[in-house]
Structure 1
């Protein structure tokens, strides 16, 4: 599921500050990067299953590997984890209302924080 109206897509921020901001809202980047792209994930474990809220970004300036980059954020996605295949983001997935509310709340906080960092 895509969160088209999150307001995050298109925001730009310096990588180190963005990492701090995203971590403060429960997102993890860990090893999910290459020299031009980053991926932040927040895991939600629920009775209905495990879900991941994912925010992608790409470097518009600098290099992620050197930790000196400006990142442009893209549209967040919500997916459900299926063992052993991984996360599915298909439109046919069912997402609990409580999960959608939590994701929207988290994305609103992220938007407010990243907007203050915008380059």
Structure 2
């Protein structure tokens, strides 16, 4: 499931800022990155039924390389997927719990607000 109405898609953000703000809303980089691409995840784990869902926020470096302090990252559309062992994460044709979808929207909205606040503060300087 893609979240196409978050306002995050297409934003260009300094890597260091993205790293800090993603962490503030609970998104972690983990091992999903290389020098050109990065993915931030939030894991939902239902202990009653064993279902695991991931909110993923992907990005691509448009300046520099991932992990360089001067790199800039263009954000892509966030998505939600369900994990299936041993095959991986499926994003299409899935039913997602309303609680999970709402939490994703809240975290993405908070991230956008944090990034916009920093952009406005930088513009005022």
Q: TM-score, normalised by structure 2?
A: 0.87
Q: Which protein, 1 or 2, shows the higher relative CO under an 8 Å CA cutoff with sep ≥ 6?
A: 1
Which structure's CA Rg is the greater one? 2
SS at match of 1:68: coil
| Larger strand fraction of residues | 1
Counterpart-to-counterpart distance in 2, 1:117 and 1:86: 35
Alignment of 1:1-119 (within 5 A): 1-46=1-46, 47-48=48-49, 49-90=51-92, 92-118=93-119
Gaps of 5+ in 1: none
CA RMSD in angstroms comes to 1.5
Q: TM-score, normalised by structure 1?
A: 0.91
SS at match of 2:71: strand
Gaps of 5+ in 2: none
Counterpart-to-counterpart distance in 1, 2:70 and 2:90: 32
